[in-house]
């Protein structure tokens, strides 16, 4: 409670030899000597306790109560230092409420609190002030305190200016009374005021008060600066707003408003767009709405961004196609080795475009293992056609808005990646590669693959509508190329819209050509080397391909060449090496020991071991199938980490061999008293698929008939219970593996004869490829026949040989 200002004067009373005084607890204020304090009693018991006190004569002890109910205080709640207070006035407002005005006197030390009837009393003794020994220092301190107080009043709005006069008039009252006066006036916490009351040395008390005031002066200065800066900022904004309003009025009068100029510019540009009248009217309404909005509003920015996006799209800009078929063929052959089917398809598109003059772009899908050049082929096709190239990877995309965009009403809305790409490329007929389409995701935000259905449908993409644009955009002039590793992972509806072109892995000869013509020059250039400084001979390159990489493409091959280039570059810098020739003999010093060991065909025919061919994502591999028999009860055991399809192939092969036991010379009792164990080595690798049936049947027939299997014959194909060999996939990769494993003859299904046309002449010359229609045909090629049957077997084999020959193979080797 703030003391009354006109009563801030010294109090000259004493104890009048009183040792016991009634106690008035002070809940949130501290009463100093000479100060007036008004408190309110808000309980019926408290009002009753004070009724016997007479105004102007009664004295009480005013002590700070640190907690509890003020009107029903307990001794434990009261401070031990207080003041003797004169009851100046007692105003009873109601039976349970009264106003009490106290004037502070001398300090008291409560020796004991006790109850005397309904009221709390205290046995007290006075606390005399400590006299100052240095009057000059005390005077200077009083003057300093008065000066600091005036600065405080000047800077702190909590103090009234009339306080300055009260303080000045009290400068001559002495340091003790002046300190108590300032302590009662300044804003401090209750704990700080109580601490000052308990400080008996007036010099120490006044020094502490000065420190409190100086701290408040600094705080007030900071608050004043902040307030002034805030006011200046507000004034500046008000001034700018006023000036801008004046400028707008002047521009309106002169007919030179920038908003009107912008609106006119939008209308003029919209008129030049090849849009239907409905959509043009829709956009004009947006422009008219823009003219009515303030530039500072959020809708203004949304509408303006939308209009800018519409106007930035290449509605009529087209790149002129280069329809020179011969030049395009040369460019494709220069940039890519092989890939004849893809090149032919592009050249066919160019030929039709040259004849017709206008052709909707096809939707192609390059499917093949990683690293075979699907994406880079798209860039080369764009160069051959003279079109701009755009690439969009959708691998892992799960939000449909990435394709179709967000509605412009959303905060931070933007068009989809397709529209953004067209804005960036600036033409309506680029070559657009959508990468990794088989790895597109799907979640609660939509299905991006479904959004691509409209994009990749030649019958619909002439009116693709992005949610942000809300206006159809023609994509039909774009040549879309998608890439995928596995066609099975593409949703059926999307796959149905794609013209699939399969890119198989490269064989060693193709990789050698690619490394020599393309990879090595690019790597040397990227590492600051020239062919004179680093040369990798063909034998070393072939060893890198065979022993340090296991892939269908050439990415790892490029990394290995780069690893050699880095080591050579370091030696040139550190050792002053002039040049380096990498050969097969010193290759290990650059790449370490060989990382891969490929299976090779056996050295001699063996009973119960057949050589199969497998396809993997890294290319082809040969696979040995082992079979052995032992005395038992006719049980069949299969091991080797196999999938369900392959286990079923084992059962089918065993059943067919059993049905042909007589032709193979197998005693019928063998199936009842002999167990057979079929094993697929490399158990750590999961093996599955429907292409090993003929090799499994050959291994079983060999072990049960005791006829060795030729070690230089490999085979692939699934069989039926009628003995028919079914077609398989990945034939090229399998033949590559057979050639690498030094196999001379390969048995393939008759249904795969059409795939042999894709093989290079080099491959055909290195392998003798035999097409077999039935399992017996494969047995004639692989099982060493019984004595006397060589002539018929040879005649039958010559009928089935479809590629290669002994002389050609000998010349190749």
State whether residue 23 is helix, strand or coil: strand
Determine the Cα–Cα distance for residues 73 and 326; give it in Å rounded to an integer. 109
Per-residue pLDDT, 749 = 94
Helix (H, G, I), strand (E, B) or coil at 199: coil
Pairwise CA distance, residues 545 & 580, whole Å = 20
Q: DSSP letter at 469? A: T
- The C-alpha atoms of residue 65 and residue 25 are separated, in whole angstroms, by 6
pLDDT over 90 at 169, yes or no: no
Q: 325-502, what's its fold?
A: Rossmann fold (3.40.50)
167 CB neighbour count, 10 Å cutoff: 18
Three-state DSSP class for residue 119: strand
Site of tokens 């879309």: 480
Helices (H), 630-774: 644-659, 661-664, 670-673, 693-705, 731-740, 761-766
734 catalytic residue (yes or no): yes
Cite the beta strand spans of 146-234 per DSSP E: none
Q: Distance between CA 602 and CA 600 in Å, rounded?
A: 6
* Torsions phi, psi for 163 (to 5 deg): -65, -30
Contact 127, 81 (CB under 8 A): yes
Q: Tokens representing 267?
A: 């209308």
Q: Which comes out higher in pLDDT, residue 241 or 604?
A: 604
Note the CATH architecture for domain 5-126.
Roll (2.30)
Q: 768: helix, coil or strand?
A: strand
Average pLDDT, integer, range 739-757: 88
How far are the Cα atoms of 134, 174, 609, 693, 795 from residue 131, in angstroms, in the given order? 9, 10, 119, 117, 139
How does residue 598 score in pLDDT terms, banded at 50, 70 and 90? low
Tens digit of pLDDT for each residue in 207-256?
A: 888 888 888 888 888 877 777 777 777 777 777 777 767 766 666 666 55
Q: Which two tokens stand for residue 481?
A: 């190329």
CA 439, distance to chain mean position in Å, is 17
| CB-CB contact of 725 with 749 (8 Å) | yes
Give me the half-sphere count of Cα atoms (radius 13 Å) on the Cβ side of residue 479.
23
Q: How far apart are CA 407 and CA 414, in angstroms?
A: 8
What pTM does this model have? 0.62
Give the pLDDT confidence score for residue 716 in this predicted structure. Answer: 93
Angle at 535 between CA 532 and CA 538, to 5 degrees: 145
**CA–CA distance, 427 with 320 (Å, rounded to integer):** 10
What pLDDT, on the 0 to 100 scale, is given for residue 2? Answer: 38
Q: What would the mean pLDDT of 621-626 be, rounded to a whole number?
A: 88
Q: Quick one: fold of 508-591?
A: Helicase, Ruva Protein; domain 3 (1.10.8)
Q: What is the 3-state secondary structure (H, E, C) of 513-558?
A: HHHHHHHHHHHHHHCCCCCCCEEECHHHHHHHHHHCCCCCCCHHHH
> How far apart, in whole angstroms, are the C-alpha atoms of residue 276 and residue 533?
63
Q: Are strands 479-484 and 725-726 parallel, antiparallel or unpaired?
A: unpaired
* Rounded distance between C-alpha atoms, residue 666 and residue 680, angstroms: 24
The answer on pLDDT for 507 being more than 50 is: yes
Does pLDDT of 784 surpass 50?
yes
The class level of CATH for 609-812 reads alpha beta
User: Please, are residues 416 and 405 in contact by the beta-carbon 8 Å criterion?
Assistant: yes
Alpha-carbon distances of 720 from 394, 584, 677, 692, 773, rounded to whole Å: 41, 47, 21, 12, 11
C-alpha to C-alpha distance for 369 and 381, rounded to whole angstroms: 20
Q: Give the residue-averaged pLDDT of 658-675.
A: 88
Distances (CA, A) of 341 to 332, 496, 503, 507: 12, 20, 9, 16
For residue 114, the surrounding DSSP H or E stretch is strand 97-116
What is the CA 403 to chain-centroid distance, rounded? 18
What average pLDDT score do residues 587-597 get? 86
Which residue carries 């393309």 as its tokens? 518
3-state class of 364 per DSSP? strand
pLDDT tens-place string over residues 447-466: 888 889 889 888 888 889 99
Helices vs. strands in the chain: H and E counts, helices first: 30, 25
pLDDT exceeds cutoff 80 at 405: yes
pLDDT-wise least confident of 68-82, 435-449, 642-656 = 68-82
Q: Would you say how long the chain is, in residues?
A: 813
Using alpha carbons, list the distances in angstroms from residue 626 to 559, 665, 792.
37, 20, 28
DSSP 3-state of 448: helix
pLDDT of residue 8: 36
Residue 30 has pLDDT above 60, yes or no: yes
Does 560 qualify as catalytic in the annotation?
A: no
Q: Which residue matches tokens 């009025």?
A: 249
Distance, CA of 187 to chain centre: 55
* Residue 651 pLDDT class (50, 70, 90 cuts): very high
The 3-state DSSP composition of the chain as helix, strand, coil percent (nearest 5) reads 45, 20, 35
Positive/negative CA dihedral, 645, 650, 654, 660: positive
Residues 519-537: what's their mean pLDDT?
A: 92
Catalytic residue (one of 132, 543, 691, 705): 691
Q: How far apart are CA 422 and CA 468, in angstroms?
A: 14
- Please, which pLDDT band fits residue 795 given cuts at 50, 70 and 90? very low
Residue 37 has pLDDT above 60, yes or no: yes
Q: Which residue has the higher pLDDT, 522 or 599?
A: 522
Given 343, 734, 744, 764, the catalytic residue: 734
Phi and psi angles of residue 755, each rounded to the nearest 5 degrees, phi first: -75, -15
> How many angstroms separate the first and last alpha carbons of the chain?
113
In this predicted structure, what is the pLDDT of residue 1?
40
Structural contact between residues 690 and 647, judged by C-beta atoms closer than 8 angstroms:
no
């Amino acid at each position: 409670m703030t003391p009354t200002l006109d009563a801030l004067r010294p109090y000259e009373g004493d104890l009048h030899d009183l040792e016991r005084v009634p106690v008035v607890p002070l809940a949130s204020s501290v009463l100093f000597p000479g100060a007036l304090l008004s408190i309110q009693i808000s309980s019926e018991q408290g009002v009753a306790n004070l009724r016997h006190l007479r105004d102007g004569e009664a004295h009480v002890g005013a002590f700070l109560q640190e907690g509890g109910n003020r009107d029903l205080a307990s001794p434990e709640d009261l401070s031990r230092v207080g003041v003797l207070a004169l009851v100046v006035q007692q105003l009873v407002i109601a039976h349970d409420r009264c106003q009490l005005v106290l004037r502070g006197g001398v300090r008291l030390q409560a020796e004991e609190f006790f109850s005397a009837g309904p009221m709390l009393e205290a046995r007290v003794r006075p606390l005399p002030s400590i006299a100052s020994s240095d009057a000059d220092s005390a005077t200077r301190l009083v003057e300093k305190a008065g000066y600091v107080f005036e600065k405080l009043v000047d800077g702190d709005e909590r103090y009234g200016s009339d306080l300055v006069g009260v303080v000045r008039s009290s400068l001559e009252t002495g340091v003790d009374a002046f300190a108590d006066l300032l302590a009662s006036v300044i804003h401090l916490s209750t704990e700080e005021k109580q601490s000052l009351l308990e400080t008996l040395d007036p010099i120490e008390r006044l020094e502490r008060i000065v420190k409190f005031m100086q701290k408040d002066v600094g705080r007030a200065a900071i608050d004043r600066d902040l307030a002034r800066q805030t006011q200046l900022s507000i004034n500046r904004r008000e001034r700018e707003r006023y000036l801008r309003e004046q400028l707008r009025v002047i521009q309106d009068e002169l007919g030179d408003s920038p908003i009107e100029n912008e609106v006119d510019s939008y209308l003029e540009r919209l008129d030049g767009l090849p849009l239907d009248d409905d959509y043009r009217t829709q956009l004009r309404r947006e422009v008219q709405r823009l003219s009515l909005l303030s530039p500072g509003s959020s809708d203004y920015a949304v509408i303006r961004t939308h209009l800018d996006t519409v106007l930035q799209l290449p509605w009529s800009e087209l790149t002129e196609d280069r329809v020179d078929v011969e030049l395009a063929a040369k460019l494709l052959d220069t940039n890519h080795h092989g890939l004849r089917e893809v090149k032919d398809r592009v050249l066919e598109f160019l030929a039709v475009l040259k004849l017709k003059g206008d052709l909707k772009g096809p939707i192609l899908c390059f499917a093949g293992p990683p690293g075979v050049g699907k994406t880079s082929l798209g860039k080369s096709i764009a160069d051959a056609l003279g079109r701009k190239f755009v690439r969009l990877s959708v691998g892992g995309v799960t939000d449909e808005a990435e394709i179709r965009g967000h509605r412009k009403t959303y905060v931070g809305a933007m068009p989809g990646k397709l529209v953004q790409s067209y804005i960036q490329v600036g033409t309506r007929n680029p070559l657009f590669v959508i990468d990794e389409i088989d790895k597109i995701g799907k979640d609660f935000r939509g299905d991006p693959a479904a959004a691509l259905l409209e994009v990749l449908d030649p019958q619909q993409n002439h009116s693709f509508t992005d949610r942000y644009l809300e206006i159809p955009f023609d994509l039909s002039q774009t040549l879309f190329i998608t890439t995928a590793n596995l066609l099975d992972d593409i949703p059926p509806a999307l796959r149905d819209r794609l013209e699939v072109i399969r890119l198989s892995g490269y064989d060693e000869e193709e990789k050698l050509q690619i490394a020599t013509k393309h990879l090595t020059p690019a790597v040397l250039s990227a590492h600051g080397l020239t062919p004179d400084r680093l040369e990798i001979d063909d034998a070393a390159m072939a060893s890198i391909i065979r022993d340090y990489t296991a892939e269908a493409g050439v990415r790892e091959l490029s990394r290995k060449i780069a690893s050699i280039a880095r080591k050579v570059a370091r030696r040139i810098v550190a050792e002053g090496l002039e040049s380096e020739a990498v050969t097969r003999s010193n290759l290990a010093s650059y790449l370490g020991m060989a990382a891969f060991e490929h299976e090779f065909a056996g050295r001699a025919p063996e009973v119960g071991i057949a050589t199969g061919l497998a396809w993997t994502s890294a290319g082809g591999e040969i696979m040995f199938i082992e079979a052995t028999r032992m005395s038992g009860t006719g049980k069949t055991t299969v091991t080797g980490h196999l999938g369900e399809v392959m286990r079923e192939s084992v059962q089918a092969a065993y059943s067919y061999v059993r049905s042909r036991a007589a032709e193979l010379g197998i005693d019928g009792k063998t199936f009842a008293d002999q167990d057979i164990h079929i094993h697929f080595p490399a158990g750590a690798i999961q093996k599955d698929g429907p292409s090993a049936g003929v090799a499994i049947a050959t291994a079983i027939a060999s072990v049960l008939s005791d006829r060795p299997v030729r070690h230089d014959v490999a085979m692939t194909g699934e069989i039926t219970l009628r003995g028919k060999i079914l077609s398989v996939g990945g034939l090229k990769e399998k033949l590559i593996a057979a050639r690498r494993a030094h196999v001379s003859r390969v048995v393939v299904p008759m249904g795969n004869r059409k795939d042999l046309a894709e093989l290079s002449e080099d491959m055909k010359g290195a392998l003798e490829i035999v097409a077999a229609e039935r399992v017996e045909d494969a047995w004639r090629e692989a099982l060493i026949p019984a004595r006397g049957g060589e002539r018929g077997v040879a005649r039958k084999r010559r009928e089935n040989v479809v590629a290669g020959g002994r002389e050609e193979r000998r010349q190749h080797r």
